[in-house]
Structure formats: structure tokens, C-alpha cells
Structure 1
Amino acid sequence: MFVDTVDYCAKDAPRRLVESLRQTGFAVLVRHPLPSGLIEHLYHDWLTFFESGDKTPYHFDPVRQDGWFPPEVSETAKGSQLRDLKAFYHIYLWGRIPPGLRQDVLAYFGVATALASELLGWIEAALPVEVAASLSEPLSDMVLGSSNTLLRMLYYPPLSGEEAPGALRAAEHEDINLITLLPSATEPGLEVCDRQGRWHAVSYEDGALVVNVGDMLQEATQHWLPSTPHRVVNPTGEWARQPCISAPLFLHPRGDVVLSPRYTAADYLHERLCELGIK
């Protein structure tokens, strides 16, 4: 399975990015504008947050879905019987953010959302005429005024050896949203499933950015772009004794956006959160 590595600064970057997304649902972007120093600070500070202190004041709100989700209430991927081996913190611009982490979080949220919106524009420009005509509104308009875009700080604890057989850091799943931006995590482990059901490791390159299609974009484009199953496998050797941090940004449309005759964005999101067992 060929997930292309695309140079953001190259003249053909939009074409190559969309082509890789069209074929695999994924692309890897290098020389992108997200500040590496800011990402490093985020990872360092959030690792400290997850591994120390009382997080009870930030316990997730089951209605608003912001805040800290401890491992015992982590997601159970659709079709899986086992919870993922992770904890995470949901950050929305309107939500709760620990004061000491707020400045860097808001700075990263701003630049990452701007890049995600730009990449969505690349996709929009490449849509076939008939697919573009079928949209309820242009893709770039779907995110205007959206309060649903989510930055998730993910914490994968070191493996103890006592995990349930078959449990993974993140079991097979697809993302819910339009597109996801995932900077390189502190460890490898991301795998993507091809159309023959075979799993392939996504290139782990320091400073790279993984971009992938979510279910809402697949729905809106009538499957012209595929939302591809992916997972995070458990590490072995020295990696298994280390925690891992990552920070996917999920670009979401407004809740009232009509994705298809079957779904609004709000309906789709509610259905999936219920399936994941976190709402």
C-alpha cells in the first residue's frame, strides 16, 4: 500500500496529496508549516500532565465531551470488545484547558486548524464536477463557524504485560470527521489497512505530518475519498516500556451541515460517539 510522502512546498503538492488520499485515505506531509518546537513543547507538557497531579477537576463532561478521559472510560472501537489502551484529553476552543497549558494549546490549535482548512481547500479544488455538485455546500464553507473541531491529546501508557489479550493502543477504526492532522507521535505504531485487508506501517519520520480522510468527508463525497481503517499497534522491546504522546487534530464541520440524505454532521457525530461508548 503506497501512502505517498508529499513535500508541502512542492508545486505539485496539492495534486499528490489528493491522489494519495484518493488511493489510500492517507498521505504523509513533510516541510509543512506547523512549528516543530511548539509540538515538542506540547508533547513534553502534556506528558507531565498525564503522569502527575490530580486531574479530577478536568474529568470529561459526558454531554460537552471536553476534558480528561481516563483509561477506564477510554474508547471501545466500533466492532471491538476491548477498550483501547490509552487516556486522552479533548480540547475545544470553548472548552476547559488547564491554565498552564492553555497558551501553547491555543497557539497550536490555531496554526493546525488553518493548515487543515488549507488542505481541505486543496481537496475541494480537485473534486470532480459531479461530486462537487452533489455537496450541500462547498467543503470550505462546511467548516466556517464550526465549534466542533477537536484537538485530542493522546496518552498511551507503558505496557505492563498484564494487558488483556488482543487489546491494542488503538484498535481498528476510522475517524469521524472531515480530515485529521497527526504530527509524528513520540513512538511509531500507526498502521493502515489496504483494500485487501492487509496492514501496513505508516512511515514514522520525525517532523512529518500524517493526513487522513474521515467518515464525514467520505460520506459527503459519496465515497470518492475513502475513510480507511487504521490502528495503533502495541510496541515491543524498549518502546514497550515508554509512554507515547500524540496530538491529532480532527477538522469538523458545523453540526447543521448536511453530509448526505442520510446524515447531518451532528447526527453522524452523535451516532459514532454512542458506538464508541463515550456518550
Structure 2
Amino acid sequence: MLPIVDFHAEDAAETFVKSLHETGFGVLKNHPIQKELLQSLYDNWAGFFNSDEKIKFQFNVETQDGFFPTSVSETAKGFKVKDIKEYFHFYPWGQAPEGLKQQAQDYFSQANDVAETLLNWVQEHSPADVAAKYSAPLSSMIEKSEQTLLRVLHYPPITGDEEVGAIRAAAHGDINLLTILPAANAGGLQVQLKDGSWFDVPGDFGCIIVNIGDMLQEASGGYFPSTIHRVINPEGEDRSRSRISLPLFLHPRPDVVLSERYTAREYLQERLRELGVK
């Protein structure tokens, strides 16, 4: 269903952008992000979330950096039950545990470089009438942006005491331009197909999953769809395992014009209010 595209293949850009247009998602292998770095991040952040240290990094309401406990987790748009997750918002300028900061910065830089390449691919293979809608080249929209966010997600084990109807991440679309997501240390990510059914996204370690966010959908006049996705609760023995995920949400500078309706700042503030985190 979703082709796995070799990052270095001659037709990688064309095949990848076609997948984004048709499904809202793309999957890449042989990408430049180091596997050893990813595995170390999974291990080290699992330790952080299982320690009391996390309480020292309570999130800042205005700047949105730091630790968000389960009690203030997001409620997906259209849902009334909070997701079963806690997470840390890492920005290069923001707070972070001293022992994890450099490693998080290394991943942030590597993933951001990949994302810039992918935005160039999208620009190159957008139909002329779609490209004409972009207020600036897509990769230039993220230059010197301080809004791009690394979210380190921790989905705790399922205990059976969760609120009725709660899942790890209810169906939602992302706010940003593109999301870069290395395959997590456990499965559960699903994407909604056009017929309303759900499809398991390939999660082989070593792949990165890329999806369209609402801002790119807005900027492209809907040509690139912001596809709905979710993280379902595990079954059987997997219920006792936690899940770590490292999405990088690629955000333009606040002044970037997305469309006649929105700047990036206006769009982001509207969505944060809808999510109940601001």
C-alpha cells in the first residue's frame, strides 16, 4: 500500500512525492539519520520518563517547551478523552535534561536536514499550478525557524485503568508542514485510507515515516492531503510494554504566508487552542 522508497534511488524524489500526494504519507529507507543515534535516544528517553527527573522540567505554557504529563496530554480535535501519553517538547533554545540535550540536538539537526531535502523534492515535483500557490520556496519557509519541534513521546504500558475509550493517540492530523518520524520502538501507528479503513504503517527499524501536515495541505490548496492517523493500544503481552516515538514537526517561521486565509502564526495558535494546550 505504501511504497518504501530508497532515499538514494534515482527516482526517489518522484516516487516519494507521488506517495505523499496519493496517501499523505511516505516511507523512506537508507536515509542519513544514524540508527545508532536513534536506538540510544529510545533507551535514554525511556529512562527519563521512568524517573522522577521529568517533574523538574514542567512545560512552559507560553513557549510550550518541556515535559507534558499524562494529566495535561492532548485531546485530539473532535474527541473528549485525553490520549494515553506523556511527552517532552524539545527546541534547541528550550529546556532539556543536561545529559540528553546534545543527543537530542544531534537528532534534531539530522532530521531537519533530511526534511529540508524532502521539502525540495515536494517543491520540484509539485504541479505548476500547485507550486504557484506557495508564497515562497517550501524549504525557505523553515529557514531560521524556531518553531520546528522535536516531540519525544512516551506511551506507557496499558494497565486496564485507563478512561473508557482512551487510546494512545486518537485519530488526528498534524499541524505543521511535514512530520519526520523514525520507526518507533513498538508498532501501533495506523493511517486512515480514503475509504475510511485503517492501514498499519510499516514500522521496520531503519525506516522513517513522513506525513503531510495541515499547513502543507493549506499551502498546496489541498493537493497534498493531511492524512488522519492514530496510535492504537497494543494487545496481549505488548500491553505491558511502553512505546517511545521521536516525531520532528517541521514548522515554518510565524510570518510565513500559508494561504490567503492564514499565516503560520495564525494557523498554529488556532490549532493549539483547539487541542486545549494553550
TM norm structure 2: 0.98
Q: CA deviation at 1:57?
A: 2.3
CA drift of 1:4 comes to 1.6
| Mapping 1:198-237, distance limit 5 Å | 198-237=197-236
3-state SS of 1:240 partner:
helix
Q: Which runs of 5+ in 1 are unaligned?
A: none
RMSD between superposed Cα atoms in Å? 0.8
Query: 1:117-152: CA deviations, max 9, x gaps?
Result: 111110010111111112211111111111100000
Counterpart mapping for 1:59-98 below 5 A? 59-98=58-97
- Deviations along 1:8-58, one digit per CA (max 9) or x if unpaired, are 111111011000000000011111110000011111110000001232321
Shift of 1:263: 0.6
Structure 2 counterpart of 1:132, which letter? A
Instruction: Give the counterpart letter for 1:85 in structure 2.
Output: I
Amino acid at match of 2:136: E
Equivalent-residue separation in structure 1 for 2:191 and 2:168 (angstroms): 14
Cα distance in 2 for partners of 1:120, 1:136 equals: 14
Query: What's 1:115 paired with?
Result: 114
Q: Does 1:20 align with 2:4?
A: no
Structure 1 range deviating more: 114-123 or 47-56:
47-56
Give the superposition deviation at 1:238: 1.3
Structure 1 counterpart of 2:163, which letter? A
Task: Give the CA deviation at 1:65.
Answer: 0.2
Question: What secondary structure is seen at the aligned counterpart in 2 of 1:55?
Answer: helix
Q: Which amino acid aligns with 1:101?
A: L
Greater mean deviation of Cα atoms: 264-273 or 132-141: 132-141
Name the stretch that deviates more: 240-249 or 199-208. Answer: 199-208
1:58 corresponding residue in structure 2: 57
Structure 1 CA distance, aligned partners of 2:155 and 2:54? 16
Structure 1: which 4+ aligned runs deviate by more than 3 Å? Answer: none
Distance in structure 2 (CA, Å) of the matches to 1:242 and 1:137: 44
Q: Which amino acid aligns with 1:15?
A: E
Aligned-pair identity in percent equals 50
Equivalent-residue separation in structure 2 for 1:133 and 1:204 (angstroms)? 35
Cα distance in 1 between the residues matched to 2:201 and 2:161: 27
What amino acid sits opposite 1:135 in the alignment? Y
Quick one: distance in 2 between partners of 1:56 and 1:204? 31
Taking structure 1 as the reference length, what is the TM-score of the superposition?
A: 0.98
Distance in 2 (alpha carbons) for counterparts of 1:131 and 1:146: 23
- Tell me what 1:140 maps to: 139
Unaligned runs of 5+ in 2: none
Which amino acid in 1 is paired with 2:227?
Answer: T
3-state SS of paired residue (2:132): helix
- Post-superposition Cα deviations, 1:161-198, rounded to whole Å, max 9, x if no partner, equal 11122111000000000000100111100000011111
SS state at 1:9 partner: coil
Distance 1:112 1:226 in 2: 22
Look up the equivalent residue of 2:261 and give its one-letter code: R
Which amino acid is the alignment partner of residue 180 of structure 2?
Answer: L
Q: Which residue of 2 aligns with 1:241?
A: 240
Which residue of 1 is the match for residue 263 of structure 2?
A: 264
Q: Which residue of 2 aligns with 1:47?
A: 46
Aligned-partner residue type, residue 62 of structure 2: V
